[in-house]
Amino acid sequence: MTCKEAEQMVMPYINDELTDKELETFLDHVYGCKACYEELEIYYTLYAGLAQLDSDEDRNQDMHNLLEEALYVSEQRVRGRKLFNIYYAFSQVLAMAALAGIIITEILKL
């Protein structure tokens, strides 16, 4: 992903509009690119700050921590999805193996 692409994902990220795949590549880039991380931090702080003006949440909460928390949650989401995919693929393989086992047993009976 280029910085330009990452830049275009900042707002969709804040609005929680990225797909899991997009989210994953976006996080990868942001963690490895200081410029894009700072860009995200500025926007996130701005929007999270605006959102908090109307809420009863603690306004003195450190904005840097807010972004780190959000990134952590995003990461968990991406990881959880990956684990699920691995589990799903694994169960598919097991089902195929079981099926093959049944077929082979049936053939051997003949």
CB of 1 to Zn ion, least distance (A): 8
Region binding Zn ion by CB under 5 A among candidate stretches 2-10, 77-85, 87-95, 98-106: 2-10
Q: Residues 81, 83, 86, 92: is their CA dihedral positive or negative?
A: negative
Which of positions 27-66 make contact with Zn ion (CB under 5 A)? Answer: 33, 36
Residue 70 is a binding residue for Zn ion (CB under 5 A): no
- Residue 71 in contact with residue 30, Cβ under 8 Å? yes
CB of 100 to Zn ion, least distance (A): 47
Tokens of 108: 């051997």
Residue 95 is a binding residue for Zn ion (CB under 5 A): no
CB of 13 to Zn ion, least distance (A): 13
CB of 107 to Zn ion, least distance (A): 57
- Residue 39 in contact with residue 7, Cβ under 8 Å? yes
Residues that bind Zn ion (CB under 5 A): 3, 6, 33, 36
